[in-house]
Amino acid sequence: MNTGPSIELVIEPRGKDLGGFSVQRVLPQARRRHLGPFVFLDHMGPATLGPTNAMDVRPHPHIALATVTYLYEGEILHRDSLGSECSILPGAVNWMTAGRGIVHSERERPEVRRTTRRIHGLQLWVALPQDQEECEPAFTHYPADSLPEQRGEGIVLRVLAGSAFGLTSPVATLSRLFYVDAGLTAGARLSVEAEHEERGAYLSWGSVRLDGREYTAPLLLIFTPGVTVELEAIEDTRLALLGGDSLGDRHMYWNFVSSSADRIEQAKADWRAGKFPRVPGDEVEFIPLPED
């Protein structure tokens, strides 16, 4: 629905089953394909897993984007075709730039699988500037204590990527953007200034009041450009603030993003033909290309 003056659009996520593990798919949707350079947003969980079920995302490819995974709870083992192997833990940022092509898997360590545990977090994809879409792939891990944090009355802000609230993350990005993990206690007020071209807030849990209206998670609130937004937490709330400069529309198919439709077709053909590199330590399984 369209609202105002602070809110341009409200998007309700839709549930998607990833083979026994459900997520809330927030972006892309028909009414909104991107927010700044962010072209994809999945809300994973919260879910309780046991010894008989696990998070097992087999090796799959990406091109012309960067993935960023952020956990509230749980642990995910990342492996990729560069030879990277890293446990993703709550509060840390793992930034993987696909560029001309990368393959990765997201699983759980054997010792973790034997326990009853919770998994909860967000995964986003960032489109790359057109002149950087074929850059060399890269992976960088940023531990939780390396990310800048600001505390106020009932508010904790962690700048995960880009710049916001006078803080700048060490995460290396290729375009102007911001991504902030914000925790608000009931009654706390947060002002979000119009310092970026496109801005929004994804409510992971809790509820907020804007312009006299109440909004309850899970929802993506897309802010009106040029307007300072005043958020008030009705209850303890966790939200992701994100946006930045728009890079324009992108073609998307499965895990491929590109400004060129022909490049998408080439990536599809390369994956079918087994031309992408393999993931060391996870060479046997892979996700087949979905049928058109």
Tell me the β-bridge partners of 11. Answer: 220
Average pLDDT, the chain: 94
**What's the pLDDT at 1?**
44
Distances (CA, A) of 227 to 38, 198, 291: 20, 11, 43
Distances (CA, A) of 26 to 30, 35, 44, 176, 219: 11, 11, 11, 21, 8
262: phi then psi, degrees, rounded to nearest 5: -65, -35
Question: Per-residue pLDDT tens for 46-68?
Answer: 999 998 888 889 999 999 999 99
**What's the pLDDT at 53?**
84
**What's the pLDDT at 167?**
97
Sequence letter at residue 128: L
Question: Per-residue pLDDT tens for 218-245?
Answer: 999 999 999 999 999 999 999 999 999 9
**What's the pLDDT at 15?**
86
**What's the pLDDT at 3?**
54
Query: pLDDT over 90 for what percent of the chain?
Result: 91
DSSP sequence for 105-162? EEE--HHHHTS-EEEEEEEEEEEPPGGGTTSPPEEEEE-GGGS-EEEETTEEEEEEEE
Q: For the residues 118-131, what does the mean pLDDT come to?
A: 97
Question: Per-residue pLDDT tens for 82-99?
Answer: 999 999 999 999 999 999
Stated pTM of the model:
0.95
Cβ-based burial of 287 (10 A; exposed 0-12, middle 13-18, buried ≥19): middle
**What's the pLDDT at 2?**
43
Q: For the residues 181-194, what does the mean pLDDT come to?
A: 97
